[in-house]
Amino acid sequence: MKKTITWILIADGARARVFKNEGPGKGVQLALDQEFSGDNLASRDLVSDKSGRTFDSGGDGRHAKVPHSDPHRNAKHEFAREMAKFLDQENTKNSYDRLIIVAPPQTLGDLRSELTNAARKKLTGEINKDLTHIPIGEIADHLGSVLAV
């Protein structure tokens, strides 16, 4: 009988690690020997120091342009998009049978919205929490509500 492999993605807006569980009582191990990271620059480092300028169409007035989006937020969303793309690719390779995502609310929503339907069908649990700073040996202690480790 084939083992059921559950991948657990633990992410925030700039870092992610993928763990796996191969059944009840089997614990949690790193699935991949890599930690994913995005650009976690402060917003001030992502934009220029001065606002752009705009001119009135019929006069001498000039106004500063205010950015309509937060570059830091955009970078976090882009990181989530890349992680979702990775999970989708691994899903097509049948690398996992079930998927659990552990992330803070904004990142969790971004990941959920970017997953394809095929990967979303394997999503069996979500935890709304940032566990990216938790030591590997303590990860299983936080998964009891979604996984029999």
pLDDT tens digits, 20-63: 999 998 999 999 988 999 865 444 454 445 555 555 556 566 65
pLDDT score for 43: 47
- Contact between 35 and 15 (Cβ < 8 Å): yes
For the chain, domain boundaries: 6-142
Mean pLDDT score, 70-76: 88
Mean pLDDT score, 117-140: 96
21 forms bridges with which residues in the sheet? 6
Q: CATH number of the domain at 6-142, out of 3.30.420.60, 3.90.1150.10, 3.40.980.10, 3.40.50.620? A: 3.30.420.60
Nearest CA to 84 out of 108, 60, 106 is that of: 108
pLDDT score for 61: 61
The Cα 9–Cα 60 span in angstroms is 54
What's the pTM? Answer: 0.80
At residue 64, does pLDDT exceed 90?
A: no
At residue 82, does pLDDT exceed 70?
A: yes
pLDDT score for 46: 46
